[in-house]
């Protein structure tokens, strides 16, 4: 057995997957053979979910049946709603509230006694989780504002329905399409920390509720989720500054401040998802406030062209533009990571199902660095 230590499992192959592929040098992301550009611009989030879970894009009849099944599962129990209200009153963090909600969903699971090896049942359970997360998240935010939750609408897609439940108003086409694209862009991304966490839990044949709860927990860490929130907080700081945004970024870099949203563990060039969200940010700016788009483009131009970060393998990632896009859609800043989880749950479920088809308990080992064998001394003689 090899004794090479790979901290963080960097570069270690632990599984084979048909789900997503990343070329960090070319800036390419594909889901089951389809480029992220084609999917984001031509498919809906529901179509991408179907692709990840079933291996092919649905035809019209398949999509209609799949969408109907998701829609039927959107309602959450009164117990979940009352818990979201109590957590909102207690000023709980949104990711912690989501973690609790996902765990609670299992209490009303109609197939709770299904055989762990029945992957069809696991998929149906995963579908219920995916359908309910937007409802629970929107309810939590409504309670924080002192408002009552808004019931889901069966005539709206998952993305538009979430924005509707969040605000009580039906979003316009640009907002709905933008948010739908954002969900597609975040649906899967290889074996990142939260996906791997879900797979580890799934490898024990624990239920999918446990696996998704684990994914939420892993994503809540600041080294994984949350960068887009950091980006937006920087943009707000720029907006509130007495300096012009160009002057602000020059001063910040001179002071050695790190600007969030740049650099990625995988990509050495601009994240392809950032390119797509930059387009949507520009479109939102043309139909609303333009300053957030102007700030981000100025920062990107300054850091990449004048500071030469791209030559160093540091370029904008998906978080750099998703923060301002969500802000333009009226989404609270601390809800950005929960929205990430809302999208990525589809990928977590897909990876667990794929791994369980040829399951082997994930059990790495550690190199012992403790003391050599020591003589035991009884408590009376210590």
Task: Return the active site residues.
Answer: 264, 319
State the Cα–Cα distance between residues 75 and 176, nearest whole angstrom.
Answer: 21
214 token code pair = 């684990």
What is d(CA 308, CA 315) in angstroms, rounded to the nearest whole number? 9
Burial level of 368, CB count in 10 A (0-12/13-18/19+)?
exposed
Q: Which 3 state secondary structure label does DSSP give 23?
A: strand
On the CB side of 255, how many CA atoms lie within 13 Å of its CA?
A: 9
Q: Measured on CA atoms in the order 299, 305, 308, 313, is the torsion positive or negative?
A: positive
The DSSP code for 220 is: T
> How, if at all, do strands 28-31 and 20-23 pair?
antiparallel
Instruction: Quickly count: other Cβ atoms within 10 Å of residue 157's Cβ.
Output: 19
Rounded to whole angstroms, how far apart are CA atoms 256 and 253? 5
Query: What is the distance between the alpha carbons of residues 15 and 83, in angstroms, rounded to a whole number?
Result: 37
| Residue linked to tokens 């696996």 | 211
Integer-rounded Cα Rg, in Å, for the chain is 22
Q: CB–CB of 194/219 below 8 Å? A: yes
Question: Who's near 278: CB < 8 A, 6+ residues apart?
Answer: 296, 297, 316, 321
DSSP H or E stretch at residue 22:
strand 20-23
Among 49, 13, 32, 15, smallest CA distance to 358 is for 15
Which tokens in the block code for residue 221?
A: 């860490």
Which run of H or E residues covers position 34? strand 34-35
């Amino acid at each position: 057995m090899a004794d090479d230590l790979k901290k963080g499992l960097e570069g270690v192959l632990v599984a084979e997957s048909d789900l997503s592929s990343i070329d960090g040098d070319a800036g390419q992301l594909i889901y089951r053979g389809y480029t992220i550009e084609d999917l984001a611009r031509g498919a809906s989030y529901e179509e991408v979910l179907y692709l990840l879970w079933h291996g092919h894009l649905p035809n019209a009849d398949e999509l209609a049946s799949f969408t109907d099944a998701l829609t039927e599962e959107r309602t959450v129990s009164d117990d979940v709603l009352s818990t979201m209200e109590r957590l909102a009153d207690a000023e709980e963090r949104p990711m912690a509230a989501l973690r609790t909600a996902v765990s609670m969903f299992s209490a009303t699971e109609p197939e709770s006694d299904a055989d762990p090896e029945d992957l069809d049942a696991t998929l149906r359970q995963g579908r219920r989780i995916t359908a309910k997360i937007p409802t629970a998240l929107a309810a939590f935010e409504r309670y924080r504002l002192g408002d009552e939750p808004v019931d889901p609408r069966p005539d709206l897609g998952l993305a538009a329905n979430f924005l509707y439940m969040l605000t009580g108003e039906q979003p316009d086409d640009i907002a709905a399409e933008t948010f739908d694209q954002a969900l597609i862009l975040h649906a899967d991304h290889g074996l990142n920390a939260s996906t791997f966490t879900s797979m580890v839990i799934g490898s024990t044949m624990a239920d999918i509720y446990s696996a998704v709860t684990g994914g939420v927990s892993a994503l809540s860490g600041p080294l994984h989720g949350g960068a887009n929130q950091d980006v937006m907080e920087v943009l707000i700081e720029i907006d509130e500054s007495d300096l012009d945004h160009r002057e602000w970024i020059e001063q910040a870099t001179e002071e050695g401040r790190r600007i969030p949203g740049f650099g990625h563990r995988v990509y050495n060039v601009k994240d392809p998802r950032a390119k797509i969200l930059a387009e949507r940010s520009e479109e939102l700016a043309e139909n609303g406030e333009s300053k957030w788009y102007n700030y981000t483009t100025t920062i990107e131009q300054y850091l990449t062209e004048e500071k030469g970060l791209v030559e160093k393998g540091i370029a904008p990632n998906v978080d750099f533009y998703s923060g301002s896009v969500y802000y333009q859609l009226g989404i609270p800043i601390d809800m950005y990571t929960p929205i990430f989880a809302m999208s990525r749950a589809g990928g977590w479920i897909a990876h667990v199902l794929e791994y369980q088809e040829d399951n082997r308990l994930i059990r790495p080992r550690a190199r012992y660095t403790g003391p050599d064998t020591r003589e035991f001394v009884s408590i009376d003689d210590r």
